[in-house]
């Protein structure tokens, strides 16, 4: 398996990207293509004693700036490390691509360089979130702020296919529609129109799910428009951060609490690991022709290594082909 | 100040409602009208040694069932304890009403018994949420799943007025629009149309706010459509619950952690208190002619006592009159 990695994406590039790629080579034996400034990459690798064994570098001197408009990946920054990674993927030079760079740019590049599967209205960005049970896929998490019911049904199919392969469960992944209540008649126009379509979709649709129940893991695929999906995702992040910060302050407040904290720490570390998003490699871009993984912008080596592992598993699963078979339009049909 | 309390609303009615009312009488000296089955209330009070000093009971034998359609408060259950409480408020028999019963029914009853302020498109349900800084008002949290930009602007005005009185801050409460990013051009159609209107509103509008930053308390009023507002509110609740549950499991896992937990417990209790919603009395129904407070359905005496305190402060503040002056239509103008 050959994974293409944007070596200049994210807050900790290129050092942590290089380290993560080397970890993935050592752990899983994958081949890697790194995109980015070749001289810099060779120098950073040498200075930090990172082996470039099984890694090929494709030179790309430009970097996609986080603050630039996503569209610039197709124009001013069409030769940035992310664009080059996606172009190599489109050309079949590797099996999957990983980037920790700008989410908007990756979505834009995924859609227009790797290209949308014909028949899929809109690609969706689907993070894998930790829960009290198995990991949960949220689709969409912000790629499409305004959605039509048909788009949500496609998201449900794509999420169902991905999770069937990656986190199999007897009876198939449980699909839920994010809503303000569990009754069938809850929600706004979008949810009321989507509910009957999901009921007839043939998926393991278990009905509406409230945001309150998502962290407990009552469903495997949460279907949402990108706006409320984004609110869900970021509220979890913000709440966990706020709690952890306050916990730390509370633990450091006196000698007594410091001793107590030392005693409970191993369990807390395990809890932190359980809730850590870096285990699952970030978010998946679904609805494009090849596997693309968005690693967290603040990924360290471990997160990049996980993302590479997930990218390879995703490529091996055949999920993209299955999405194409399920939602794709044959060539003779008119394109949307 | 005379507060009307639905004695049969919520999971712990009537005992905890009675206790909370008695606490409020003792602490703040308010007069109370309790609505509900008089014989039952007198018996429960007697059996539990609760003084009914300064409390009047208005008999209402029926209770609004949680599972019934909210509309039934206007029909089949028009004489339930909640409906009677709201009717007494509309008739001017008290200064504010408190209920821990069905949110939907309270919204329906608030809108059609207490009645909407003419000129306000839709009343909104606005919980006061704990944050790392001052408490934060979220408006709307689910009363209106689908919103128009003009509604969000009215929510902003109502939230601004309420928070100016209840949690004053130099320069006025900071109003933020819930969005998927902080840049001015973020969001869906609704947010893009609302942003310029809020900018021209004369309020202390600080721009878009991401869900991630709400728990940290970067704004005082979060303006949202009821659907994504509901997702925000319930995600915080679900995430806190999941973390606290796991923390408890982690603390109880061995003798070592149990000792540690005992040492850190006082700080944790303080943290739990800081994040507890029962301090702020629940949610406010804004846009109706009198102060109506929705206490949490699972409120104990303390939560009810807080809700009564908040209801009295709300009534004394003149916020309802100010909302009417700001958004209300004079009689000669045609009604919406």
* B250: nearest CB among A241, A251, A271: A271
Distance (Å) from the C-alpha of residue A44 to the closest C-alpha of chain B? 33
A157 and A98 co-located in one domain: no
Residues B260 and B324 in one domain: no
| Contact assessment for residue B157 and residue B119, using Cβ atoms and an 8 Å cutoff | no
Q: Which residues of B touch A245 (CB under 8 A)?
A: 132
For residue B323, the distance in angstroms to the closest alpha carbon of chain A comes to 27
Lowest mean pLDDT among A21-35, A140-154, A248-262, B116-130: A248-262
Query: How far lies A163's CA from each of A166, A167, A311, B265, in Å?
Result: 5, 5, 14, 40
Helix, strand, coil distribution of chain B in percent, nearest 5: 50, 15, 35
- Report the gap between the CA of A164 and the closest CA in chain B (Å): 25
Q: Are residues B261 and B300 in the same domain?
A: no
Whether residue A330 has pLDDT greater than 70 = no
Do A31 and A68 reside in the same domain of the chain?
yes
Per-residue pLDDT of chain B (336 residues; tens, 9 = 90+): 999 999 999 999 999 999 999 999 999 999 999 999 999 999 999 999 999 999 999 999 999 998 899 999 999 999 999 999 999 999 999 999 999 999 999 999 999 999 999 999 999 999 999 888 889 999 999 999 999 999 999 999 999 999 999 999 999 999 999 999 999 989 999 999 999 999 999 999 999 999 999 999 999 999 999 999 999 999 998 998 888 888 888 898 899 999 999 999 888 888 887 777 666 768 999 999 999 999 999 999 999 999 999 999 999 999 999 999 999 875 444 544
Which A residues, 222 through 241, put their C-beta within 8 Å of a C-beta on chain B?
225-228, 230-241
Q: How many CB pairs under 8 A join A and B?
A: 182
- If you measure CA to CA, which chain A residue comes closest to B251? A264
Task: Write out chain B residues lying below 8 Å of A254, CB-based.
Answer: 267
- A65 and A109 both lie in a single domain: yes
Distance CA A195, CA A306 (A): 35
Choosing from B251, B281, B311, the residue where a domain stops is: B281
Smallest CA–CA separation between A74 and chain B, in Å?
20
Tell me whether A168 touches chain B (CB under 8 Å).
no
Please tell me if residue B145 touches chain A, with a CB cutoff of 8 Å: yes
Contacts of B241 in chain A (CB under 8 A): 212, 215-216
Please tell me if residue A103 touches chain B, with a CB cutoff of 8 Å: no
Number of domains forming the structure of chain A: 2
Q: What is the dihedral of CA A123, A124, A128, A134, to 10 degrees?
A: -90
Of A187, A256, A268, which has the smallest distance from its Cβ to B145's Cβ?
A187
CATH code of the domain in which B165 resides: 3.40.718.10
| Per-residue pLDDT tens digits for A270-325 | 888 777 766 676 899 999 999 999 999 999 999 999 999 999 999 999 999 999 99
pLDDT for the residue A272: 80
DSSP code, position A286: E
Contact list in A for residue B270 (CB cut-off 8 A) is 250
pLDDT of residue B278: 63
A298 interfacial to chain B (CB closer than 8 Å) = no
The residue of A104, A143, A230 whose CB has the most chain B CBs within 10 angstroms, and thus the best one to mutate to test that interface, is A230
- Segment among A17-31, A196-210, B120-134 with least mean pLDDT: B120-134
* A116 contacts: CB under 8 Å, gap ≥ 6: A122, A123, A287, A288, A289
Inform me whether the C-beta atom of residue B46 falls under 8 Å from chain A C-beta atoms: no
Q: List all residues 6 or more positions away from B134 whose beta carbon is below 8 Å from its beta carbon.
A: B167, B169, B217, B220
Residues B106 and B53 in one domain: yes
> A19 and A151: one domain?
no
How far is the CA of A156 from the CAs of A150, A163, A178, A329, in angstroms? 10, 11, 11, 18
Q: How far is B218 from chain A (nearest CA, A)?
A: 12
- Please name the residues between 238 and 257 in chain A that touch chain B, using a CB distance below 8 Å: 238-243, 245-247, 250-251, 253-254, 256-257
Chain B residues close to A215, C-beta within 8 Å? 235, 238-239, 241-242
Residue A217 near residue A209 (C-beta atoms within 8 A): no
Alpha-carbon distance B113 to B88, whole Å? 10
> ipTM, 2 decimals?
0.92
pLDDT, one tens digit per residue, over A205-259 is 999 999 999 999 999 999 999 999 999 999 999 998 888 888 889 898 899 999 9
Q: What is the pLDDT of residue B132?
A: 87
Residue of A nearest to B263 (CA): A260
Nearest chain A Cα to B228, which residue? A228
**CA of A320, closest CA in chain B: separation in Å?**
27
Q: Is A18 on the interface with B (CB under 8 A)?
A: no
Average pLDDT over residues A80-94: 98
Q: Are residues A153 and A114 in the same domain?
A: no
- Domain of A6? 1-120+287-336
Cβ separation A251–B264 shorter than 8 A = yes
Partner-chain contact B231 A235, CB within 8 Å: yes
Say if B66 is an interface residue toward chain A (CB within 8 Å). Answer: no
pLDDT (average), residues A57-62: 97
Partner-chain residue, chosen from A146, A236, A267, that has the shortest CB–CB distance to B257: A267
Query: Is A240's CB within 8 Å of B235's CB?
Result: no
Tell me the chain B residues in contact with residue A263 when contact means C-beta distances shorter than 8 Å.
256-257, 259-261, 263
Other C-beta atoms lying within 10 Å of the C-beta of residue B8: 27
**Based on the domain organization, do A251 and A151 belong to the same domain?**
yes
Both A111 and A171 in one domain: the answer is no
Count how many Cα atoms sit within 13 Å of the Cα of residue B123 in the half-sphere of its side chain: 28
**CB within 8 Å of B91: residues ≥ 6 apart:** none
Q: Are strands B124-129 and B136-139 parallel, antiparallel or unpaired?
A: antiparallel
pLDDT at residue B273, as a whole number: 79
Under an 8 A CB cutoff, do B187 and A237 touch? no
For residues B154 and B224, state if they share a domain.
yes
Q: Which residues in chain A have Cβ-Cβ distances shorter than 8 Å to B184?
A: none
CB proximity A47 to B under 8 Å:
no
Contact status of B260 with chain A (Cβ, < 8 Å): yes
**Inter-chain CB proximity B215 and A242 less than 8 Å:** yes
Q: Are B155 and B229 in contact (CB under 8 A)?
A: no
Same domain, A154 and A195: yes
- Minimal Cβ distance to B180: which of A216, A230, A263: A230
B61-90: pLDDT as tens digits:
999 998 899 999 999 999 999 999 999 999
Is B142 close to A239, i.e. CB distance below 8 A?
Answer: no
Residue ending a domain, among B256, B281, B306, is: B281
**CB-closest option in B212, B251, B265 to A234:** B212
What would the DSSP string read from start to end of B3-64?
EEEETT-STTTTHHHHHHHHHHHHHH--EEEEEE-HHHHHHHHHHTT---TTEEEEE--B--
The phi, psi pair for A125, rounded to 5°, reads -100, 120
Provide the pairing of β-strand B221-223 with A55-59: unpaired
Q: Which pLDDT value is given to residue A336? A: 47
pLDDT of residue A278: 63
Q: Which residues of B touch A191 (CB under 8 A)?
A: 145, 227
């Amino acid at each position: 398996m050959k994974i293409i990695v944007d070596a200049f994406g994210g807050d900790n590039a290129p050092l942590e990207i290089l380290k993560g790629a080397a970890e993935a080579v050592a752990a899983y034996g994958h081949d890697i293509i790194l995109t980015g400034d070749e001289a810099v990459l060779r120098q950073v690798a040498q200075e930090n004693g990172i082996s470039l064994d099984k890694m090929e570098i494709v030179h790309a001197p430009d970097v996609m700036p986080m603050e630039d408009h996503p569209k610039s990946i197709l124009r001013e920054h069409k030769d940035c490390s992310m664009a080059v990674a996606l172009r190599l993927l489109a050309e079949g030079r590797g099996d999957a691509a990983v980037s920790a760079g700008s989410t908007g740019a990756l979505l834009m590049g995924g859609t227009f360089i790797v290209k949308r599967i014909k028949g899929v209205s809109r690609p969706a960005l689907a993070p894998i979130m930790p829960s009290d049970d198995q990991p949960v896929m949220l689709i969409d998490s912000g790629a499409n702020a305004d959605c039509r019911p048909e788009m949500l049904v496609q998201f449900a199919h794509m999420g169902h296919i991905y999770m069937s392969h990656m986190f199999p469960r007897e009876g198939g992944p449980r699909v839920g529609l994010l809503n303000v209540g569990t009754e069938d008649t809850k929600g706004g126009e979008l949810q009321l129109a989507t509910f009957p379509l999901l009921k007839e979709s043939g998926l393991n649709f278990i009905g509406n799910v409230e945001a309150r129940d998502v962290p407990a893991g009552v469903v495997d695929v949460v279907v949402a428009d990108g706006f409320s999906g984004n609110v869900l995702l970021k509220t979890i992040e913000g709440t966990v951060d706020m709690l952890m910060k306050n916990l730390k302050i509370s633990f450091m407040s006196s000698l007594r609490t410091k001793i107590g904290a030392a005693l409970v720490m191993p369990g807390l570390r395990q809890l932190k690991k359980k809730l850590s998003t870096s285990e699952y490699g970030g978010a998946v871009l679904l609805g494009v022709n090849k596997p693309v993984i968005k690693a967290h912008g603040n990924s360290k080596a471990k997160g990049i290594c996980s993302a590479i592992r997930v990218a390879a598993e995703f490529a091996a699963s055949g999920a993209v082909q299955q999405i194409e078979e399920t939602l794709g339009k044959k060539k003779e049909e008119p394109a949307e």
